[in-house]
Structure 1
Amino acid sequence: MFYTLLLVTFGLASLVSGLVAWAFYRPLKAIFQRIIQDAISSAWQKYILFATFVVGISGGVRIYQLERYITAHNKDQKLLTLTPERWMIEVYRTIIETLQSIAWMYLIVFIFALIAYVIVRGFEIKHSVKSAQAASKTSRDE
């Protein structure tokens, strides 16, 4: 029964991670293309996709929590049995923990992306002001 629970939580965490990665695929692509503006932006996007799966699965499949079903940590403690109620709790916990782990990772990614966007936008504005000044100076000289 433990192995089934382990496989179910792994599969569920993988599925949830895949759905989140699919939902954020286009926004991440647009963000990285806007910030990086180079072919390397696709490499960063692939890395974030990989990290989504790693963080989601490791957050959703909590091995230390599942050990309670196979190992008693002291003599007085009994092993937990997998009842239908515990199955529901473990399934719910897997979904929530997967989403929570990915949400934290994406929050960090988007904070750094926002900082990078502000920096890139600042350089663009500075460059456009210099270009406009050079164009107006050229038109006055003629």
Structure 2
Amino acid sequence: MFLTLLLVTLVVATVVSLLVALAFSKPIDSILKRIIADEISVAWLKYLKFAILVVGVSAGVRIYELEKYITPARWDKEARVVSLTTERWVLELYRTVIEALQGIAWLLLVFFIFALIAYVIVRIAEMRQGGAADRAKG
């Protein structure tokens, strides 16, 4: 039963991560093309999609939390292995979705913060180039 739960949480976390990567693909691509303005933005987009997948799966499949279904708590001598009931399955699947989304949200937050900083730098550089071109004409 534990292996089934592990496999199901892996599949759920993977599907959630793929859906988020698909949903954010166009916005991330637009941001990268604006900031980088080179063909390398395609490679960065692929890397970011891969990072979304890895972070989502690693955050969604919580191995140490699932361990309670195969081993009793180490510090409690009277502890027993927690049984996998229907309620536990629903709870674990819900946790998988929420944890995967939370991990991806942190990744995207960090990306968008750095993208915003890079955008401001690009805009300042463009304004300076525009001012230098106007002075050269005048």
Could you tell me the TM-score, scaled by structure 2's length?
A: 0.96
Structure number, greater radius of gyration: 1
- Provide the residue aligned with 2:52 in structure 1: 52
Taking the TM superposition and a 5 Å limit, the aligned residue runs for 1:129-140 are 129-135=131-137, 137=138
CA displacement at 1:120 relative to structure 2: 0.5
Unaligned runs of 5+ in 2: none
Q: Deviations over 1:2-59 (max 9, x none)?
A: 0110011000000000000000000111111110111111111111100000000000
- Tell me, in whole angstroms, the C-alpha distance in 1 between the residues paired with 2:48 and 2:85: 37
Equivalenced residue count is 136
Aligned sequence identity (%): 56
- Provide the residue aligned with 2:111 in structure 1: 109
Could you tell me the TM-score, scaled by structure 1's length?
A: 0.93
- Provide the residue aligned with 1:95 in structure 2: 97
CA displacement at 1:73 relative to structure 2: 3.0
- Provide the residue aligned with 1:78 in structure 2: 80
- Tell me, in whole angstroms, the C-alpha distance in 2 between the residues paired with 1:23 and 1:129: 38
- Provide the residue aligned with 2:3 in structure 1: 3
Unaligned runs of 5+ in 1: 138-142
RMSD: 0.7
SS in 2 for 1:115: helix
- Tell me, in whole angstroms, the C-alpha distance in 2 between the residues paired with 1:106 and 1:37: 20
